[in-house]
């Protein structure tokens, strides 16, 4: 899985856990990525804009699932 899909999957897992009401979880969501560049780790904390973009993709994903499962 590439990093972009991994970020969306991580966001969905965290967001769903918050929505279910898991004890101790809540907003804001904070995601970090790490990749190796020239044999050195490159660490990145997603910006607010990146988190908002993940939220938009998450909402599209949830709506697509709703349409699939609610189809008559």
Q: What is the predicted pLDDT for the residue at 72?
A: 56
- Predicted model pTM: 0.81
- Cα–Cα distance for residue pair 13/20, rounded to 1 Å: 11
Question: Roughly how many angstroms between the first and final C-alpha of the chain, as a whole number?
Answer: 33
- Residue for token digits 């499962």? 69
- Structural domain for 51, as ranges: 3-70
Domain count, the chain: 1
The mean pLDDT values, 10 residues at a time, for the chain of 72 residues are 92 92 84 94 96 97 92 66
């Amino acid at each position: 899985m590439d990093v972009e899909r991994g970020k969306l999957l991580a966001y969905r897992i965290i967001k769903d856990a918050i929505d279910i009401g898991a004890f101790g979880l809540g907003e804001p969501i904070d995601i970090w990525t790490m990749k190796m560049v020239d044999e050195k780790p490159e660490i990145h904390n997603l910006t607010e804009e990146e988190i908002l973009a993940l939220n938009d993709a998450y909402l599209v994903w949830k709506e697509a699932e709703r349409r699939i499962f609610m189809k008559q």
